[in-house]
């Protein structure tokens, strides 16, 4: 029996496996339920009592040596990267592609609007979302007690009513006029905030792109032509526009622009409420008071401004009828707007 144990000890010592699988095989052979060690333990039962101590120690020596060796070999092989050496690696398999996200439809439409006006020479101007009364209202010819301030339900700061969340990006136009000399040609994209109940047609946060063009001899005809160009680029060559008189404190005259319904081609459907027309923006000639408030000589210069809601344009372009979808970030909705840009 001692001889057998010594033989196994030698085997343990000389064991040089190449892969983890071999180590496991070896473990089963020596330490497994039907392994060599168990056979020895069976034999041990028949050993004479006076020899038990010596034999017992020898058996323990074998068990410890085998376990230590197996653990050490396992660790060594796993760390050296040979753990998978049994697994065939197929070098011709294609790599796993990373899933690429897509742009949000609001960003797509916003970028497209910027792009279209970019072709007419407009550059992007930026400004803060947290504004003061001057840039959102007063500089834009909203008289202090004028009811037009109620047209846009404003979020005011509780601590300081002079501080508010901008209700339109016209505030950027004011900042531009204050800091630049004409000719000015800017588009002002950004988030705006109005205290409105959230529904399919309204939200308290939405996006606008407004525009401003100031130079000598700018006329209403220039405004109309620019908007027509925009409508055709955005909605297709067949798009037509019409202008209806409107009111904004900062423009005079002012107009609301409708584009022919691109879903029914102007014949009338339930999206355009059977009128054939869809409202897309407000616009007008910049009121001389507004030019003067920002230090621009209204005798020398004139200009026009326009402003539109990005969600609204996106709704009309993609036929999405519920505005809330743009804010819920449901990937099933967003994935439909695959894009590379």
Binders of ligand PHE in range 297-316 (CB under 6 A): 305-307
Q: How far is the CB of 335 from ligand PHE (least distance, A)?
A: 31
Q: How far is the CB of 248 from ligand PHE (least distance, A)?
A: 5
Rg (CA), the chain: 39
Q: How far is the CB of 324 from ligand PHE (least distance, A)?
A: 20
Residue by residue, DSSP assigns 9-64 as: HHHHHH---SSHHHHHHHHHHHHSTTSHHHHHHHHHTTS-GGGHHHHHHHHHHHHH
- Which residue number, 31 or 151, has a Cβ lying nearer to ligand PHE? 151
Q: Which of 242, 233, 213 is nearest to 306 (CA)?
A: 213
Q: Does 284 bind ligand PHE (CB under 6 A)?
A: yes
- Which residue number, 30 or 281, has a Cβ lying nearer to ligand PHE? 281
- Which residue number, 27 or 176, has a Cβ lying nearer to ligand PHE? 176
Distance (Å, whole) CA 130 – CA 152? 15
Interface with ligand PHE (CB under 6 A), residue from 141, 171, 226, 251: 251
Question: Is there a cis peptide before residue 253, judged by omega within 30 degrees of 0?
Answer: yes
Q: How far is the CB of 339 from ligand PHE (least distance, A)?
A: 27
Q: Does 189 bind ligand PHE (CB under 6 A)?
A: no
Q: Which of 169, 162, 186 is nearest to 127 (CA)?
A: 169
- Which residue number, 266 or 282, has a Cβ lying nearer to ligand PHE? 282
Q: Does 283 bind ligand PHE (CB under 6 A)?
A: yes
- Which residue number, 26 or 142, has a Cβ lying nearer to ligand PHE? 142
Q: How far is the CB of 265 from ligand PHE (least distance, A)?
A: 27
- Residue 136: partners with Cβ closer than 8 Å, 6 or more residues away: 154, 164, 166, 167, 168, 170, 171
Dihedral angle of Cα 185, 191, 195, 200, to the nearest 10 degrees: 110
DSSP state of 88: P
Q: How far is the CB of 309 from ligand PHE (least distance, A)?
A: 8
- Which residue number, 272 or 283, has a Cβ lying nearer to ligand PHE? 283
Q: Do 315 and 259 contact (CB within 8 A), yes or no?
A: no
Q: Kindly state the helix (H) or strand (E) to which residue 188 belongs, with its residue range.
A: strand 184-193
CB atoms within 10 A of CB 7: 11
| Binding region for ligand PHE (CB under 6 A) out of 9-17, 84-92, 128-136, 282-290 | 282-290
Q: How far is the CB of 325 from ligand PHE (least distance, A)?
A: 22
- Which residue number, 248 or 301, has a Cβ lying nearer to ligand PHE? 248
| Binding region for ligand PHE (CB under 6 A) out of 40-48, 53-61, 127-135, 280-288 | 280-288
Q: Kindly state the helix (H) or strand (E) to which residue 308 belongs, with its residue range.
A: strand 302-309
Q: How far is the CB of 241 from ligand PHE (least distance, A)?
A: 15
The SS3 of residue 233 is: helix
Binders of ligand PHE in range 62-101 (CB under 6 A): none
- Which residue number, 112 or 210, has a Cβ lying nearer to ligand PHE? 210
- B/e letters for 151-178, b = 16+ CB within 10 Å, e = fewer, are ebebeeeeeeeeebbbbbbbbbbbbbbe
Binders of ligand PHE in range 196-235 (CB under 6 A): 210
Helix axis angle, 52-79 to 20-31, nearest 10°: 170
- In SS3 terms, 212-224 reads as EEEECCCCHHHHH
- Which residue number, 266 or 307, has a Cβ lying nearer to ligand PHE? 307
> What string marks each residue from 255 to 274 as x (binds ligand PHE by CB under 6 A) or -?
--------------------
Residue whose CB is nearest to ligand PHE in the complex, by number? 307
Q: Which residues bind ligand PHE (CB under 6 A)?
A: 168, 170, 210, 248, 251, 282-284, 305-307
């Amino acid at each position: 029996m001692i001889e057998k144990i010594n033989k196994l000890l030698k085997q343990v010592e000389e064991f040089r496996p190449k892969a983890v699988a071999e180590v496991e095989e070896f473990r089963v052979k020596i330490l497994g339920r039907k392994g060599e060690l168990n056979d020895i333990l069976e034999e041990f039962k028949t050993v004479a009592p006076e020899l038990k101590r010596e034999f017992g120690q020898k058996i323990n020596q074998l068990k410890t040596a085998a376990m230590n060796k197996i653990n050490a070999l396992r660790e060594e092989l796993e760390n050296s990267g040979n753990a998978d050496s049994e697994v065939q690696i197929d070098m011709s398999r294609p790599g796993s592609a990373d899933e690429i996200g897509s742009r949000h439809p609001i960003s797509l439409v916003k970028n497209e609007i910027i792009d279209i006006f970019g072709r007419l020479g407009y550059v992007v101007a930026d400004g803060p979302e947290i504004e003061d009364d001057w840039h959102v209202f007063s500089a834009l010819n909203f008289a202090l007690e004028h009811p037009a301030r109620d047209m846009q339900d404003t979020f005011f700061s509780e601590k300081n009513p002079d501080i508010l969340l901008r209700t339109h990006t016209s505030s950027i136009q004011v900042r531009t006029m204050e800091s630049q000399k004409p000719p000015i040609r800017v588009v002002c994209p950004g988030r705006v905030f109005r205290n409105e109940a959230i529904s399919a047609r309204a939200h308290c946060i939405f996006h606008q792109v407004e525009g401003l063009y100031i130079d000598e001899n700018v006329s209403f005809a220039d405004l109309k032509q620019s908007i027509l160009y925009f409508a055709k680029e955005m909605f297709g060559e067949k798009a037509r526009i019409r202008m209806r008189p409107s009111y904004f404190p900062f423009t005079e005259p002012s107009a609301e622009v409708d584009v022919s319904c691109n879903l029914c081609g102007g014949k009338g459907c339930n999206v355009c409420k059977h009128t054939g027309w869809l409202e897309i923006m407000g616009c007008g000639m910049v009121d001389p008071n507004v030019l003067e408030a920002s230090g621009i000589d209204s005798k020398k210069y004139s200009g026009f401004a326009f402003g539109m809601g990005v969600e609204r344009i996106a709704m009309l372009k993609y036929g999405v009828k519920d505005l809330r979808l743009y804010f819920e970030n449901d990937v099933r909705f967003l994935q439909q707007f695959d894009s590379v840009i």
